[in-house]
């Protein structure tokens, strides 16, 4: 197996495990270098380099730049030149410069492309709205986790992970992930309790305003800490589009999730018509 084949296999493995990484490609070299144009490597989120892009002077700069790319989410090209040739952090053509103390004195240009792990979307329930949310989210590239009774899993085809309970500790949900309750009367309180205690960045529930109020009152009676968690909840979930059918409600919910994740929206504007009892 060639190095390139190993890199491709590693990329497939990282994608399957939903891990972030950077793909590094040598674009051009000048003078004496051990790297060759076209060479590829992978740098994981922990800074491990797999593949070959040159000696220590090159790999150190590439690792640092790759970790920066994972933070910003933006690809970039860097140029590594002999120490004496670097007089500013940016070259005349705008490319970021890095110093090399390698005795060979060569120049290496590297393109670094970050590949972020797919955001997780946790869907609680298997209602018609939950099914429609799954279909939309799958098309957007989310890694979908379904939490519902085992006999209902067949109605939620296409998810990446299936749970038969509302225990989410092993999911390691983070601020970039979303959780939506679309149980529609089936274990509503259990599902809501679980997502509120999770670390998901977006927490929503498909329900009416009256149901939200009733469920939150019950949870606060269980534990007063839920009083503070109420402000984290988007319920009734979704932006107002006059939605009536399950597919339309799903569209409004997924749109709100995207808006919150892309724009950092903490609260979306609603029309009074949002809470007409349609999202029960």
Q: What's the token pair of residue 107?
A: 């120049």
- Taking the model in full, what pTM does it have? 0.71
- List Cβ neighbours of 18 (8 Å cut-off, separation of 6 or more): 117, 118, 120, 143
Distance CA 185, CA 122 (A): 18
User: What pLDDT shows up at residue 33?
Assistant: 73
More confident residue, 58 or 206: 206
Lowest mean pLDDT among 67-71, 212-216, 227-231, 275-279: 275-279
Q: What's the token pair of residue 222?
A: 């269980």
Among candidates 132, 18, 73, 45, which has minimal Cα distance to 262? 73
- The answer to whether 39 and 87 are in contact (CB under 8 A) is no
Q: What residues does CATH 3.40.50.720 cover in the chain?
A: 120-275
Residue 66: exposed, middle, or buried by beta-carbon count in 10 A (0-12, 13-18, 19+)? buried
Residue-wise pLDDT tens digits, 86-127: 878 888 788 989 887 776 778 899 999 999 888 999 999 999
User: What pLDDT shows up at residue 159?
Assistant: 96
Residue-wise pLDDT tens digits, 120-142: 999 999 999 999 999 999 999 99
Over 60: is that where the pLDDT of 267 sits? no
User: What pLDDT shows up at residue 265?
Assistant: 59
Distance CA 251, CA 60 (A): 45
Among candidates 126, 124, 129, which has minimal Cα distance to 147? 124
Residue-wise pLDDT tens digits, 3-48: 577 888 898 888 877 788 999 999 998 876 787 888 889 999 999 9
Q: Which CATH superfamily hosts domain 120-275? A: NAD(P)-binding Rossmann-like Domain (3.40.50.720)
Over 60: is that where the pLDDT of 276 sits? no
Q: What is the CB neighbour count within 10 angstroms for residue 130? A: 26
């Amino acid at each position: 197996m060639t190095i390139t084949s190993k890199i491709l296999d590693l990329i497939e493995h990282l994608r399957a495990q939903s891990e972030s990484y950077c793909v590094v490609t040598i674009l051009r070299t000048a003078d004496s270098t051990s790297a060759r144009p076209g060479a590829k490597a992978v740098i994981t989120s922990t800074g491990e380099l797999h593949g070959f892009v040159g000696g220590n002077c090159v790999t150190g700069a590439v690792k640092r730049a790759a970790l920066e790319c994972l933070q910003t989410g933006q690809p970039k090209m860097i140029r590594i030149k002999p120490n004496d040739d670097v007089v500013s952090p940016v070259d005349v053509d705008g490319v970021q410069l890095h110093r090399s103390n390698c005795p060979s004195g060569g120049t290496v240009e590297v393109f670094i492309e970050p590949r972020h792990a797919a955001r997780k979307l946790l869907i609680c329930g298997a209602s018609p709205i939950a099914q429609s949310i799954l279909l939309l989210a799958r098309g957007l590239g989310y890694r979908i986790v379904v939490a519902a009774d085992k006999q209902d899993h067949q109605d939620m085809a296409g998810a990446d992970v299936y749970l038969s309970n509302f225990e989410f500790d092993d999911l390691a949900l983070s601020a970039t992930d979303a959780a939506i309750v679309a149980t529609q009367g089936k274990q509503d309180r259990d599902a809501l309790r679980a997502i509120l205690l999770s670390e998901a960045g977006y927490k929503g529930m498909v329900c009416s305003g009256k149901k939200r109020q009733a469920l939150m009152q019950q949870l606060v009676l269980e534990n007063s800490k839920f009083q503070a968690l109420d402000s984290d909840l988007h319920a009734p979930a979704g932006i107002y589009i006059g939605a009536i059918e399950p597919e339309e409600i799903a569209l409004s919910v997924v749109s709100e999730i995207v808006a919150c994740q892309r724009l950092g929206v903490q609260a979306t504007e609603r029309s009074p018509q949002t809470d007409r009892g349609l999202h029960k």
